[in-house]
C-alpha cells in the first residue's frame, strides 16, 4: 500500500467512525462525572468512559482517539460530561483538560491561617502543609512579592481551581492576582510616598482589619499616617489580635503584655510591623496609597462598627466614655 493510499484508508476509517459512532446513546443533557488519573493511557480512559456509560465500545474509541492524534496526552482530572456527548466532544474535553473547577473564596482581611484550610480542601492536602508553604520566605521571593512571606499577598477574590491542584499553584495564582493590582497609576503613587511596597501593604492590612464602613478606610489610613509622621506608636488592636491563637472580641491589657516582645505588637513597638497581618482588598490598598488628609490621631469604634475620630488624647478619652454609655 502506498503512503497516499494508506492516508486515504485512515481518513476513510476516521470518517466512518464519525458517522457511525457519534455518541454513546441517549441521556439528553444529563451529565456524569468521571475522574481520569494521571498517566492514564487512551485505552484506560476509554474504559473509564465505558464504566460511566459514555462509550459503548472502548476499543473502537481508543482507535478513534489514536486516529485523531490523541493516543496520548489526555489530561488527568475530574470531568463533568454530557451523557449524549459525541466522541468528538468527549475527546476535545479530554485533550484540552476542561476539568471541573471549584470556587475558592478569599474574603478581604483573611490571614494565611484562614486561607490555608480553603486551599487545602480543594488541593486534598493537610491545612498545615499549606500554611507552612504560605509562610515560606523563599516562596514569597520566588513569586515576586515583598514578603517577609505570603501573608498579605494572597489577593482577596473568588478563584476557581481544579480538584487536586497543587497548593503551590493555588498560592501562586493568588499572588499573581496581587501583582496585577499594581498598575502604572499605583506604582506612580507608591513612588510619591515615603513608604515601601511592603509598608503600604502592611498599612493596608491594618486598615482592612479595622474598617467596617467603606468610606472610613481612607480616614483610618490617614490617622495611622499621622501617627507614623508624629513618631507615635500605632497601637492598632488588629496587630495584637494577629499574634493571638484565637481573635478576641475585646482585647485586654493582659493580651497586649503577653505578646509584648513580638515586633508585630504595635502597642510595644514603634512604626509598622515587619509585614502585613492579613490580605487587604483593593479598596484598603488604595486607602493606604491615598490616606485622607485629616487632623486626627485617634479613633474609637462605636457598636455599629463606625468610628469616632478625634485630635487629642483628651477628646479620645471622652469619645471612649460616650461609646461605653448605654
Q: Would you say residue 5 has pLDDT above 70?
A: no
Q: Would you say residue 141 has pLDDT above 60?
A: yes
The set of cell numbers assigned to 277 is 497581618
- The pLDDT assigned to 123 comes to 95
Per the prediction, the chain carries an average pLDDT of 91
- The pLDDT assigned to 287 comes to 98
In this prediction, residue 173 has a pLDDT band, given cuts at 50, 70 and 90, of: very high
Host H or E run for residue 285: helix 282-289
**Cα end-to-end span (Å), the chain:** 97
Q: Would you say residue 276 has pLDDT above 60?
A: yes
- The total of other beta-carbon atoms located within 10 Å of residue 188's CB is 10
In this prediction, residue 28 has a pLDDT band, given cuts at 50, 70 and 90, of: low
Most confident range (mean pLDDT) of 73-82, 96-105, 277-286 is 277-286
**What phi and psi values does residue 18 have, to the nearest 5 degrees?**
-65, -35
In this prediction, residue 76 has a pLDDT band, given cuts at 50, 70 and 90, of: confident
Q: Would you say residue 27 has pLDDT above 70?
A: no
Q: Would you say residue 150 has pLDDT above 80?
A: yes
Kindly report, residue by residue over 189-217, the tens digit of the pLDDT: 999 999 999 999 999 999 999 999 999 99
Three-state secondary-structure class, residue 320: helix
Please name the residue that has the C-alpha cell 513608604.
195
**Helix residue spans in 99-183 (DSSP H):** 112-123, 127-134, 137-142, 167-181
C-alpha angle 264-266-271 in degrees, rounded to nearest 5? 95
- The pLDDT assigned to 251 comes to 86
- The pLDDT assigned to 24 comes to 46
**What phi and psi values does residue 145 have, to the nearest 5 degrees?**
-115, 160
Q: How far apart are CA 300 and CA 322, in angstroms?
A: 10
C-alpha angle 303-304-306 in degrees, rounded to nearest 5? 100
Q: Would you say residue 9 has pLDDT above 60?
A: no
In this prediction, residue 118 has a pLDDT band, given cuts at 50, 70 and 90, of: very high
- The pLDDT assigned to 23 comes to 46
Q: For residue 210, give Cα distances in angstroms to 28, 68, 203.
A: 52, 58, 11
Please name the residue that has the C-alpha cell 477628646.
315
Kindly report, residue by residue over 292-306, the tens digit of the pLDDT: 999 999 999 999 999
Mean pLDDT, rounded, for 109-127: 97
Nearest to 303 by CA among 250, 256, 242, 239: 250
Kindly report, residue by residue over 251-263, the tens digit of the pLDDT: 888 999 999 999 9
Go through the domains of the chain in sequence order and give each one's CATH number: 19-96 (3.30.1490.480), 101-181 (no CATH), 196-294 (no CATH)
**Helix-then-strand count for the chain, H and E:** 15, 6
Q: Would you say residue 65 has pLDDT above 80?
A: yes
Percent of the chain with pLDDT over 90: 74
Which pTM value belongs to this model?
0.83
Three-state secondary-structure class, residue 81: strand
Give pairs for 94-101: CB < 8 Å, separation 24+.
Answer: 94/36, 94/45, 94/70, 95/70, 99/75, 99/162, 99/163, 100/33, 100/162, 100/163, 101/160, 101/161, 101/162
- The pLDDT assigned to 321 comes to 94
3-state secondary structure 207-247: HHHHCCCHHHHHHHHHHHHHHHHHCCCCCCHHHHHCCCCCC
- The pLDDT assigned to 246 comes to 83
- The pLDDT assigned to 17 comes to 53
Amino acid at each position: 500500500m502506498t503512503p497516499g493510499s494508506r492516508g486515504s484508508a485512515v481518513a476513510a476509517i476516521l470518517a466512518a467512525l464519525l458517522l457511525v459512532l457519534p455518541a454513546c446513546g441517549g441521556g439528553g443533557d444529563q451529565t456524569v462525572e468521571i475522574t481520569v488519573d494521571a498517566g492514564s493511557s487512551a485505552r484506560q480512559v476509554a474504559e473509564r468512559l465505558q464504566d460511566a456509560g459514555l462509550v459503548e465500545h472502548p476499543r473502537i474509541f481508543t482507535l478513534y482517539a489514536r486516529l485523531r492524534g490523541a493516543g496520548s496526552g489526555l489530561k488527568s482530572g475530574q470531568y463533568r460530561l454530557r451523557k449524549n456527548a459525541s466522541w468528538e466532544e468527549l475527546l476535545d474535553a479530554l485533550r484540552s483538560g476542561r476539568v471541573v473547577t471549584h470556587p475558592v473564596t478569599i474574603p478581604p482581611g483573611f490571614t494565611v491561617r484562614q486561607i490555608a484550610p480553603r486551599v487545602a480542601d480543594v488541593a486534598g492536602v493537610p491545612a498545615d502543609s499549606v500554611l507552612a508553604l504560605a509562610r515560606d520566605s523563599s516562596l514569597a521571593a520566588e513569586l515576586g512579592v515583598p514578603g517577609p512571606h505570603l501573608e498579605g499577598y494572597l489577593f482577596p477574590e473568588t478563584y476557581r481551581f481544579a480538584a487536586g491542584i497543587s497548593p503551590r499553584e493555588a498560592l501562586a495564582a493568588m499572588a499573581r492576582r496581587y501583582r496585577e493590582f499594581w498598575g502604572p497609576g499605583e506604582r506612580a503613587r507608591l513612588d510619591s510616598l515615603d513608604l515601601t511596597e511592603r509598608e503600604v501593604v502592611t498599612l493596608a492590612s491594618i486598615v482592612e482589619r479595622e474598617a467596617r464602613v467603606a468610606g472610613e478606610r481612607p480616614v483610618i489610613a490617614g490617622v495611622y499616617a499621622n501617627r507614623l509622621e508624629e513618631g507615635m506608636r500605632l497601637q492598632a488592636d488588629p496587630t495584637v489580635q494577629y499574634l493571638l491563637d484565637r481573635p478576641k472580641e475585646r482585647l485586654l491589657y493582659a493580651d497586649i503584655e503577653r505578646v509584648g516582645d513580638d515586633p508585630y505588637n504595635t502597642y510595644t513597638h514603634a512604626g509598622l510591623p515587619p509585614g502585613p497581618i492579613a490580605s487587604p482588598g483593593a479598596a484598603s490598598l488604595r486607602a493606604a496609597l491615598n490616606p485622607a488628609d485629616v487632623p486626627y490621631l485617634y479613633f474609637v469604634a462605636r457598636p455599629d462598627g463606625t468610628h469616632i475620630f478625634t485630635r487629642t488624647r483628651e477628646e479620645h478619652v471622652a469619645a471612649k466614655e460616650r461609646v461605653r454609655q448605654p
